[in-house]
Amino acid sequence: MSVIGMVGRAACAVTAATLLLAAPAGAASFKIDPEHFSVGFLVSHIGYAKVLGLFREASGSFTYDETTRELSNVRIVVKTASVFTNHGKRDDHLRSPDFLNAREFPEMVFVGRKAEATSERTGKLTGELTLIGKTLPLTLDLTVNKADTYPFASGGLFSRPNYVIGISARGSFKRGAYGISYGVDNGWVGDDVDMIIEFEAIRQ
């Protein structure tokens, strides 16, 4: 299952480096704000509709160099036990060995390896997703929504003026490739997992 989150180099997400505007020269570290971080997924249920779920606990960070346009250290970590689909029994099943096996594999991790621009504000981030102990390639399509000084301070990570980047990322993978095959053969649960990642990252 997703996720996504969907996930060392990182985070999430993270922004097709070549597109970030106005950051200062030299490499800068960014940390994803956990209060503005959503890792979700969509999976077909018997073909009738897709179940929308999310993970309630995730973290991420990355490094971006405005001068060289280099994105590095991209890493997103998702706590698998935090899965939520608004249905208690289903969530328990998703945590079980049939799916995420959250007790044995408490984290799902995405590591970004290469970012390239596809337009002024979009790009692709190629990396790997590690899920239930197996690591496979995954590419995220990125959109840089906004990069600017945050308009207000509200305590916590926003206790002072911050330079913030807002990113939307999308990707997909087949869970069967990770050995998560419950319900695939009989069509009860779809094999394709669509990832939905939304976040704001704060320059450190």
Structural domain of residue 32, as residue ranges?
17-203
Q: How many domains does the chain have?
A: 1
Pairwise pLDDT comparison (24 vs 44), residue with the higher score? 44
Which pLDDT score, from 0 to 100, does residue 117 have?
84
pLDDT (tens digit, 9 = 90+) per residue, 178-195? 999 999 999 999 999 999
Contact 86, 116 (CB under 8 A): no
- DSSP letter for 12, please: S
The partner residues of 139 in beta bridges, in order of sequence, read: 126
Domain contains 32: yes
Out of 30-44, 105-119, 157-171, pick the least confident.
157-171
Average model confidence (pLDDT) for the chain? 85
Domain contains 2: no
Domain contains 115: yes
Interval 84-111 mean pLDDT: 98
> The domain that contains 23 carries what CATH number?
2.40.128.110
Contact 14, 201 (CB under 8 A): yes
Domain contains 10: no
Which residues have a Cβ under 8 Å from the Cβ of 103 and sit 6 or more positions away? 81, 95
Which pLDDT score, from 0 to 100, does residue 8 have?
33
pLDDT (tens digit, 9 = 90+) per residue, 119-153? 888 889 999 999 999 999 999 999 989 888 988 76
Distances (CA, A) of 94 to 40, 59, 71, 109, 181: 14, 21, 33, 17, 12
What's the burial of 49, exposed, middle or buried (CB within 10 Å: 0-12/13-18/19+)? exposed
Domain contains 4: no
Domain contains 11: no
Return the structure tokens found at 113: 């390896």
Provide the whole-model pTM.
Answer: 0.82
Number of other CB atoms surrounding residue 198 within 10 Å = 18
Domain contains 137: yes
For β-strands 70-79 and 49-55, DSSP reports them as unpaired
Contact 186, 149 (CB under 8 A): no
Return the structure tokens found at 66: 């405005």
Place of tokens 């692709």: 124
Domain contains 73: yes
